[in-house]
Structure 1
Amino acid sequence: MYRKAAIALTFAVLLLITYSIFIGTVDLRSYFIPLLQSSPLGAQTLCATGPPLKVFMYDLPRRFNVGMLNRRTAEEAPVTGKDWPPWPKNSGLKKQHSVEYWMMGSLLWEGNGGDGTEVVRVSDPELADAFFVPFFSSLSFNTHGHNMNDPATEIDHQLQIDLVKLLRESKYWNRSGGRDHVIPLTHPNAFRFLRPQVNASIQIVVDFGRYPRVMSNLSKDVVTPYVHVVDSFKDDNRSDPFESRTILLFFQGRTYRKDEGIVRVKLAKVLAGYDDVHYERSVATGENIKSSTQRMRTSKFCLHPAGDTPSSCRLFDAIVSHCIPVIVSDEIELPFEDELDYTQFSIFFSFKEALQPGYMVNQLRKLPKEKWIEMWKQLKNIAHHFEFHYPPEKEDAVNMLWRQVKRKVPAVKLAVHRSQRLKISDWWRRRK
């Protein structure tokens, strides 16, 4: 009797699986390899989903992009893959806001659209899923003056005026209201004069906290990492990485910041007096970046308090140094968080916890060596997702960003299609 019941049950399960495969709704891993479903994200290889995103890129004169890298040339013709310039080695902190450069380069690269890439450039805008606007808004701020009273700032202002005029004359901008256009705005002051004019676009941003929800929000925008400034730790193969890292907690940077960044001054007092805590006030010179690189590689934990905005390049410097990030922020948003679980390789403290004397240091000291090594391994596994390359590499930051954009497109298309036929755009809000 039991044998017949078991045979019947087995037959029913096989029939169900066969039917599911036939209609395309089954994931065989969930039947036969359930452990894969719960394995740590950091240990998995994230993979592309579906065909590459089809992107049309506007051909803008070089003054809007690479012309800022070499201001001695008057060349205005749009840059091509054949004359794509390398990122300057002596750019200093400008590098951290260079996401716009790497995204543009990925569209110009001759291997664009090949295996492992998430985006393909199309020459016919009618075929495009999205439109890329290659304006280096962050570099424009860093290049053309740093305050509103600087005469050079007018160049940045005029570039924004010229770009908005060009976009408003575009059939494709007007068709969607700019909602299917991608614009990198990674510096907090990028596009500072006319930011409201491009609010509807898919913005590539670092910090959401600086702007109100009507300007930046997770439903339409993409969180990007800063481009790391320190060199990546390529040969981190010590037999005992825990013992070889003799500094418990490391921080080096500006301590006088505004807004949430005032926590840095308070942390200086809380963390004073510990022999194995290095908390140093400094500015980002070439020499200080070199010393920071070495100290991150010899530290177990690297502190990431808020700066002028909740995020800073320091977090991504820590990741590529395989130094466990200690994130002190109540409002930070993190890149690729739909694919990466930051709690597997980072530790989080609220402002209140971090400013409680002795609390943060004691919690770090309590973390078992085995747990630290597990987190260190996770960092090594996921660090390549925060690397920017030209040509782009599979699963690097550039491809991760395009994959994030691809996931925004369906909602954008829905909004555009509905807006084209609705007589009362917000009728659902008027319901009682």
Structure 2
Amino acid sequence: MRWKRMYSKAALTTFSLAAIMATFFFFFMGSIDIRPRFSSFFQPDPSEPPACLPLRVYMYDLPPKFNVGMLGSRSSGETPVTAETLPPWSTKAGLRKQHSVEYWMMAYMLYEGEEREKMEMEAIRVSDPEIADVFFVPFFSSLSLSTHGRNMSDPKTEDDKQLQVDTLKFLRESKYWQRSQGRDHVIPMHHPNAFRFLRDQINASILIVSDFGRYEKNVSNLRKDVVAPYVHVVDSYTNDDTRDPFESRKTLLFFRGRTVRKGEGSVRAELQKILVEGMRSSKFCLDPAGDTPSSCRLFDAIVSHCVPVIVSDKVELPYEDELDYARFSIFFSDKEAVRPGYMVEQLRKFPKDKWVDMWKMLKNISHHYEFQYPPKGGDAVDMIWREVRHKLPAAKLAVHRTKRLKIPDWWGDRRR
């Protein structure tokens, strides 16, 4: 029993000591703030904005020839475009509109209306590059491609190449590009062939792309780049308020587009017999791969509240870290889609209540695919800047590692 008495005595002593220490801290240390002694642990990095604040974007002042000058704008010379001189997007631009993301991103940054302060926007333009989180390069590379000769044998192609050379020269002379090697720079390249001559020299930047079908992995990938939606070419369905949308849409499946395409689009020819017209009068809208894994039809379907039927094995989708496309889209593999009768049979058996849920979801999320001016919180460009914010930690990690590495990046070599 002796050990029990010793244990009890030790426990009592320990308890008494703890009580004395607690009393001491209560009376003598209660008014002392110890946080300054450990400020590095309690204080956030002042260069890192809280997540609730907008992303701070510095937009380079490029002359109009790099952007709106290709729209036939009256802006000329070296004077950068402003909110007052920004020309409207041409209604005669045709299919160029699909890849006009670069224009709307620039317009978003130029907008200075009083309403902007009242809107909760994901990004704001700053005039001081020293406080910027990212740097936006307003070179309209997609428009340059379609304006200056899309065929490599076209002599006008040299104009596109020269603009790329001049853009890269401008960036390399910027100390902010040099500081990060372009990793915190945002460059729109939405057309699959945009910036085709020198894209390997901007492969560290955050690229705004439509998909990865024509990029080498060392140039563009999902880890660092942002997949942006196409600009839809059909009008949005704003008064879709029918009581029974399932029954009012008489057509089962609709397809809008050509059936003869290059590359992965060849699957369309085999689907031609089952295609019918009318997005707004159809329950489902077919979205097979285009010349690359993505196509504009998906976004036309979304703003028409027509449940997309996506047939593309390698497609990557915008905002997918936040939106679950399975809640408002149906997916078939390429092999499933060309099996005679299989896809139509599955769509005919699709439950009405589940379709209605998808239709409601489409109505709720379609505003995320609207490109507009003035911009609005939660619209397509606002969501793109939100995605850029998500890519920023990886970019900063790369910048910080590069600053302290004394040898070539061994981790990159290891991953090859």
TM-score tier after normalising by the smaller chain length: 0.7 to 0.9
User: For residues 430 and 160 of structure 1, what CA distance do their matches in structure 2 show?
Assistant: 29
**Is 1:174 equivalent to 2:178 in the alignment?**
yes
1:128 pairs, out of 125, 128, 132, with 132
Note if contact 1:56-1:122 (Cα within 8 Å) is conserved in structure 2. yes
In 1, Cα distance between equivalents of 2:281 and 2:233: 17
Query: Structure 2 vs 1, CA of residues 217 and 429 (structure 1 numbering), >3 Å: closer, same or farther?
Result: closer
Structure 2 residue runs of 5 or longer lacking an equivalent are 1-49
Which of 186, 192, 203 pairs up with 1:188?
A: 192
Moved more, 313-322 or 254-263: 254-263
Cα drift, residue 187 of structure 1: 0.3
Structure 1 match to 2:215: 211
The 8 Å contact of residues 305 and 329 in structure 1, kept in 2 or not, is answered as yes
SS at structure 2 position matched to 1:139: helix
What is the Cα deviation at residue 218 of structure 1?
A: 1.0
Deviations 1:253-295 (A, max 9, x none): 1111122111111222xxx2x5xx41xxxxxxxxxxxxx7xx1
Corresponding position of 1:78: 80
Which residue of the partner structure matches residue 234 of structure 1?
A: 238
Report the Cα offset of residue 66 of structure 1.
0.5
Residues 388 and 430 (structure 1 numbering): CA distance in 2 closer, same or farther, change over 3 Å? closer
1:340 maps to 2:344: no
Q: Secondary structure at the match of 1:303?
A: strand
Look up the match of 2:92.
90
Seen in structure 2, the aligned counterparts of structure 1 residues 417 and 49 have a Cα distance that, compared at 3 Å, is closer
Q: Which structure 1 segments of 5+ residues have no match? A: 1-47, 279-291
Equivalent position of 1:36 in the other structure: none
Q: Deviations over 1:83-125 (max 9, x none)?
A: 2211111211111111001111111111456531111111111
Instruction: Give the deviation of 1:49 after TM superposition.
Output: 5.0
Please say if 1:362 is aligned against 2:345: yes
**CA distance in structure 1 between the partners assigned to 2:338 and 2:413 by the alignment:** 46
Letter in 1 for 2:55: L
Q: Residue 106 of structure 2 corresponds to which residue in structure 1?
A: 104
CA distance in 1, matches of 2:244, 2:233: 26
Matched, 1:150 2:154: yes
Residue identity matched to 1:342: Y
| In 1: Cα distance, 2:132 partner to 2:117 partner | 13
How far apart are 1:209 and its partner, in Å? Answer: 2.4
Q: Which residue matches 1:284?
A: none
User: Could you tell me how far apart the structure 1 residues matched to 2:53 and 2:379 are?
Assistant: 17
Identity of aligned residues (%): 67
AA of the residue aligned to 2:376: E
> In 1, Cα distance between the equivalents of 2:365 and 2:406?
48
- In the aligned structure 2, how far is the partner of 1:50 from the partner of 1:312? 34
Post-superposition Cα deviations, 1:133-175, rounded to whole Å, max 9, x if no partner, equal: 0000001111111111111111111101111111111111111
CA distance in 2, matches of 1:75, 1:118: 32
1:310 matched residue in structure 2 = 293
Q: How has the CA–CA distance of structure 1 residues 265 and 115 changed in structure 2, closer, same or farther, with 3 Å as cutoff? A: same
For the 8 Å contact 1:113–1:121, the answer to whether it is kept is no
How many angstroms apart in 1 are the aligned matches of 2:130 and 2:76? 32
Tell me the equivalent position of 1:69: 71
**Cα 1:243/1:323, change in 2 over 3 Å:** same
Aligned counterpart, 1:51: 53
**Counterpart secondary structure, 1:173:** helix
Normalised TM-score (structure 2)? 0.84
Runs of 4+ in 1 over 4 A off after TM superposition: 111-114, 428-431
Give the aligned partner of residue 283 of structure 2.
300
In 2, the alpha carbon distance for the partners of 1:255 and 1:191 equals 28
- 1:296 partner SS: coil
Tell me, yes or no, if the aligned pair for 1:228 and 1:316 is still in contact at 8 Å: yes
Paired position in structure 1 for 2:5: none
Which protein has the larger Cα radius of gyration, Structure 1 or Structure 2? Answer: 2
1:386 matched residue in structure 2: 369
Sort the Cα spacing of 1:159 and 1:114 in 2 relative to 1 into closer, same or farther, 3 A: farther
Distance 1:63 1:127 in 2: 28
TM-score (norm 1): 0.81
1:328 to 291, 311, 325: 311
The Cα shift of 1:389 comes to 1.3
Q: Structure 1 residue 416 and structure 2 residue 399: aligned? A: yes
Distance 1:165 1:374, change over 3 A: same
Structure 2 letter corresponding to 1:109: Y
Q: Pairwise CA RMSD of aligned residues?
A: 1.6
1:385–1:395 Cα contact (<8 Å) kept: yes
1:254 counterpart SS class: coil
**Corresponding residue for 1:32?**
none
Cα distance in 2, alignment partners of residues 167 and 139 from structure 1: 20
SS of the residue 2:214 aligns to: coil
> Does structure 1 conserve the Cα–Cα contact (< 8 Å) formed by 2:256 and 2:297?
no
* Count of residues in correspondence between the two structures: 363
Match of 1:79, as an amino acid?
V
Matched with 2:379 is 396
| Bigger RCO of structures 1 and 2 (CA < 8 A, at least 6 apart) | 1
